[in-house]
């Protein structure tokens, strides 16, 4: 057994990030004790660490934050994005540059360190996150083990074996692990400054959202435009969905390899496409739609994770700054005739949106709901609602770019 502790008189380093290639990065542990094996990605957002860590799309991932100061505004119960916090859907690990300080914000209800412990997230601080980011950019997102032990003692050889042995995210269906256990109705509307969340009591239309790992703010933006939302588990059949008589269908974000989730999701979506009901997809939902119409997906080198990504909407000619969180992408070359590429990343040219010719169906790779991030793409929710209203013979909402 190989144990590692700090020498006499030196700072005790109580955390380790061990990469599959054997690289060991030591730091100061915080959050939960123990270890977690996952893929490491970096996120460039300046704000919104609580929303990031509770986004179910980060399941089986360790998030390295490039912004150095994380935790200084604390945490609260309003900025959680997963539907069921008890299930702890979201990141399993976190890496910070600076130590977490006491919170200084009027909305803070708890210290980040204590919250990480309750969520079971293993974290570490005090490392050179710039060097880790450069490593990921050069070599791709590595498999790794993050470990935290109060005595600073680790069996590094065993941690290296665990990291090297993990198969990674390719071929892994994680939507089944984070999806809702049963159907439920969502009525909460978007947060308003100093007022909190509203509630939709008089909906004008009904949307069924297939939950592959949905974020709360997506649901809020639909209800805020007048909708009732019924959230259903990822493996719900097309027959059961249609029995709910939806006016619109939503395909949610989520984690894992889209090709693996597509084994059960694609047949359902293909059945729904035949109905003419408007469909909107985000992130994994976008990838599921692309697979359903004959496209393919690929694993990305470093992924897109942050809140400063430029995307061009070809339907308007405008460039938006958006929030991103994905390690797989739709291969634009695989899209068949009748499928239009509507959005593209201006960082690397990768596909960020599609629509189906002659059908009220579209999807985007990025996160127009933000949380965290800019709200440039909120108009996409109005676009979806207007497709619903058009099918019902009702006048359109004014679309805001």
pLDDT digits (tens, 9 = 90+) for 356-396: 999 999 999 999 999 999 999 999 999 999 999 999 999 99
- Integer Rg of the chain from CA: 21
Nearest 10 degrees: CA dihedral of 287, 292, 298, 300? 0
Bridge partners of 297? 330
Q: Phi, psi (5° rounding) for residue 48? A: 85, 30
Is the pLDDT at 340 greater than 80? The verdict is: yes
End-to-end CA distance of the chain: 60
Contact by Cβ (8 Å): 77, 103: no
Please report the pLDDT score of residue 3 as a whole number: 43
DSSP letter (8 states) at residue 1:
-
pLDDT digits (tens, 9 = 90+) for 102-129: 999 999 999 999 999 999 999 999 999 9
List of residues 6+ apart from 96 with CB closer than 8 A = 65, 68, 70, 71, 123, 124, 125, 126, 127, 129
Active site positions, annotated:
283, 367, 369
Average model confidence (pLDDT) across the chain? 95
Q: How far apart are CA 155 and CA 167, in angstroms?
A: 21
pLDDT digits (tens, 9 = 90+) for 131-161: 999 999 999 999 999 999 999 999 999 999 9
What domains does the chain contain, in order, with CATH numbers?
Answer: 15-165 (3.50.30.20), 175-391 (3.40.50.880)
pLDDT band at 216 (very low <50, low <70, confident <90, very high): very high
**Tokens 């291969």 found at:** 331
3-state helix, strand, coil in the chain (%, to 5): 25, 30, 45
Is the pLDDT at 399 greater than 80? The verdict is: no
pTM of the model: 0.95
Q: How far apart are CA 366 and CA 135, in angstroms?
A: 24
Which is nearest to 45 in space by CA: 21, 65, 61? 65
């Amino acid at each position: 057994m190989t144990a590692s502790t700090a020498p006499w008189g030196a700072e005790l380093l109580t955390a380790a990030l061990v990469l599959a290639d054997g690289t060991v990065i030591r730091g100061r542990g915080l959050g939960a004790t123990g270890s977690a094996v996952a893929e490491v990605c970096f996120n460039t957002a300046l704000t919104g660490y609580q929303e990031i860590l509770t986004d179910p799309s980060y399941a089986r991932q360790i998030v390295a934050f490039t912004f150095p100061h994380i935790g200084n505004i604390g945490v609260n119960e309003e900025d959680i994005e997963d539907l069921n916090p008890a299930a702890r859907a979201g990141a399993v690990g976190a890496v910070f540059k600076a130590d977490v300080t006491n919170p200084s914000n009027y909305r803070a209800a708890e210290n980040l360190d204590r919250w990480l412990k309750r969520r079971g997230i293993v974290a570490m601080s005090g490392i050179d996150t710039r060097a880790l980011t450069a490593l990921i950019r050069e070599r791709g997102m590595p498999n790794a083990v993050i470990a935290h032990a109060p005595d600073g003692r680790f069996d590094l050889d065993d941690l290296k074996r665990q990291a090297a042995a993990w198969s990674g995210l390719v071929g892994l269906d994680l939507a089944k692990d984070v999806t809702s256990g049963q159907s439920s109705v969502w009525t909460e509307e978007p947060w308003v400054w100093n007022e909190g969340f509203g509630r939709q009591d008089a909906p004008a239309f009904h949307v069924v959202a297939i939950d592959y790992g949905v974020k709360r703010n997506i649901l809020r933006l639909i209800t805020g435009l007048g909708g009732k939302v019924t959230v259903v588990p990822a493996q719900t059949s097309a027959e059961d969905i249609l029995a709910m008589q939806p006016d619109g269908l939503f395909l949610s974000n989520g984690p894992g390899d889209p090709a693996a989730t597509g084994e059960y999701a694609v047949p359902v979506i293909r059945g729904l496409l035949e109905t003419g009901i408007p469909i909107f997809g985000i992130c994994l939902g976008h990838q599921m739609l692309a697979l359903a119409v004959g496209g393919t997906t690929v694993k990305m080198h470093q992924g897109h994770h942050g809140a400063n990504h430029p995307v061009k909407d070809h339907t308007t000619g405008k460039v938006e700054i958006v929030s991103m969180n994905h390690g797989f992408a739709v291969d634009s070359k695989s899209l068949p005739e009748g499928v239009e590429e509507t959005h593209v990343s201006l960082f690397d040219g990768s596909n960020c949106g599609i629509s189906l010719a002659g059908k009220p169906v579209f999807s985007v790779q990025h996160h127009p709901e933000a949380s965290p991030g800019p709200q440039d793409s909120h108009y996409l929710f109005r676009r979806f609602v207007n497709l619903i209203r058009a099918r019902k013979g009702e006048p359109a909402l004014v679309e805001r770019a």
